[in-house]
Amino acid sequence: MQIESTSGSYRDLDVQALAIAVFKGEKADDGFLKDLDSITGGVIKSVLDSEELKGKESETVYVHLIGNSDIKAHRLLLVGVGERSDYTAAEVSQMAGTAVRALRGKNVKSIAVVPRREETPEDIVSMAVEGSVMALFDPDKYRTTDKEDRKIEKLIVVMDGADETSLKRGVERGRIVGESVNFTRDLANEPGAYMTPTNMSERAREVATEFGLSIDVLDEARMEQEGMGSLLSVSRGSEEPAKLIILKYTPSSVTEGNEKLLAFVGKGITFDSGGISLKPGENMELMKYDMTGGATVMGAMRAIAQLKPSIPVLGVIPCAENLPSGKATKPGDVVRAMTGKTIEVINTDAEGRLILADAIAYAKKLGATRIIDMATLTGAVSIALGDVNTAVLGTDQELVDEIIGAGKEAGEKFWQLPLDKEYSKQIKSDIADIKNVGGRKAGTITAAAFLKEFADGVSWAHLDIAGTAWADEAKPYRSKGPTGIAVRTLLRIVARASQKCDGA
């Protein structure tokens, strides 16, 4: 898809369809809509007066402009965007996504989107492009019939009065971010047989080569040398060896005296059967997405390599397949993590925290000073927050606040859960230092309390994306299936830190 942005008028654009934002309760007798109404021969007034469209979020009305229209485009899509006062960059992203998805469904090949928000043009254009690119993702990769094969060839974002350089930058950023979110979604969507730890490491190598990141992949022998007994205990039941992927972005000029290193760590369980603590069969097929945390890190690093911020970023992705077999770890076994801590494995289905423990420790060994880990870690988080908010917990309130703030800007919601030290009592073991489950109460919190044991001495936050990484239903701006949650928030965090570094 060819993507552009223009500060010119939508009237003369050589596209098949125009998509225009309409605010809640707006009428056709004022300002922007009045102009549009007069050059379309009264279509807007007719639609709004009949209340066919009230301007509520995601509502759409689609018309053909025939005869007395003064616009080059012959089709018009009006997209409700809700209250004007709540209309931020995040809503622009959804507006553009809704427009692009709806118009693709009408077999339109070229579109101009008019988001009608003029402040911070670079960011608005970027968000409109991100939303559009993300909207075109479909999970039907392996379908051979009835596949969505209609393509949009050209997209223009119309931003009144903005300068060309910021529009260009916005388009470029939006395309990189949108494609990287879709990259993450594609990985998450892959069946376990096509996305083993080895496959994941190969995908990481491709990304590193294509976009210029340094890469190191630890095999099981090297993990053994590092003493990663916790990570290794998870892959023991599988024929597929575990991999620990390390990606690193280094800016071309490193600011002297800045020893800070931000690291993203993502759970890469390529299939989670539960192991000996086998999961029930119902919905087990979904456990192919248990590597979404890892895919999120890979997608973010893919974008970072292209966006070239001024700060270094480390990506650490522990990958393993959790299966039962005669060699598998058993409930009651005790394993020793890289830090020397001993862990009693009560339940082999609480495997994510076992691989993250060694990955966090290794990130620290590589010099990380700020660590954000992300994982489809607990079913309990869906009970607590559903599919709306991602849980965030951590030891550094500033980092947690930064995640929540960056999420707001990116249109991704995070909700903090507490992590008082009292919760750590639940993971005390009778025969080892800690155990890997903390009972039925506060499952998401005790999982984070477990990770906290391995994150001392650094600024650390954890995202539990189990409830938000997979959508059971489609939205007007997004297909069902993998959502790519958190990639955009991580990229905002990096952009903010980079700006701070440039300013210093």
Q: 334 to 353, contacts with ligand BES by CB under 6 A?
A: 347, 349-352
Which of 91, 123, 272, 358 touches ligand BES by CB under 6 A?
272
Beta pairing partners, 316: 246, 265
* Site for ligand BES contains 378 (CB under 6 A): yes
* Site for Zn ion contains 321 (CB under 5 A): no
SS3 track for 305-358: HHHCCCCCEEEEEEEEEECCCCCCCCCCCEEECCCCCEEECCCCCCCHHHHHHH
* Site for ligand BES contains 292 (CB under 6 A): no
279 catalytic? Reply is: yes
Stretch that binds ligand BES, among 25-33, 249-257, 375-383, 392-400 (CB under 6 A): 375-383
Closest CA to 177 of 355, 340, 306, 362: 306
* Contact between residue 77 and residue 60 where contact means Cβ atoms under 8 Å apart: yes
Tokens representing 343 are 């862990």
Site size toward ligand BES, by CB under 6 A: 15
Q: Which is closer to ligand BES, CB of 284 or CB of 307?
A: 284
Instruction: Report the nearest approach of ligand BES to the CB of residue 270 (Å).
Output: 11
Q: Which is closer to ligand BES, CB of 310 or CB of 446?
A: 446
Stretch that binds ligand BES, among 51-59, 60-68, 125-133, 371-379 (CB under 6 A): 371-379
Q: Residue 375 touches which of ligand BES, Zn ion, none (CB < 5 to 8 A by kind)?
A: none
SS3 track for 411-465: CCCEEECCCCHHHHHHHECCCCCEECCCCCCCHHHHHHHHHHCCCCCCEEEEEEC
* Site for ligand BES contains 376 (CB under 6 A): yes
Beta pairing class for 342-344 and 370-375: unpaired
* Site for ligand BES contains 270 (CB under 6 A): no
Tokens representing 409 are 């800007």
Stretch that binds ligand BES, among 16-24, 38-46, 252-260, 378-386 (CB under 6 A): 378-386
Instruction: Report the nearest approach of ligand BES to the CB of residue 466 (Å).
Output: 4
- Report angle CA 127, 154, 46 to the nearest 5 degrees: 80
* Site for Zn ion contains 349 (CB under 5 A): yes
Helix, strand, coil fractions of the chain, as percent rounded to 5 = 40, 20, 40
* Site for Zn ion contains 268 (CB under 5 A): no
Distance CA 60, CA 56 (A): 9
* Site for ligand BES contains 417 (CB under 6 A): no
Contacts to ligand BES by CB under 6 A = 272, 290, 347, 349-352, 376-380, 437, 443, 466
Contacts to Zn ion by CB under 5 A = 269, 272, 290, 349, 351-352
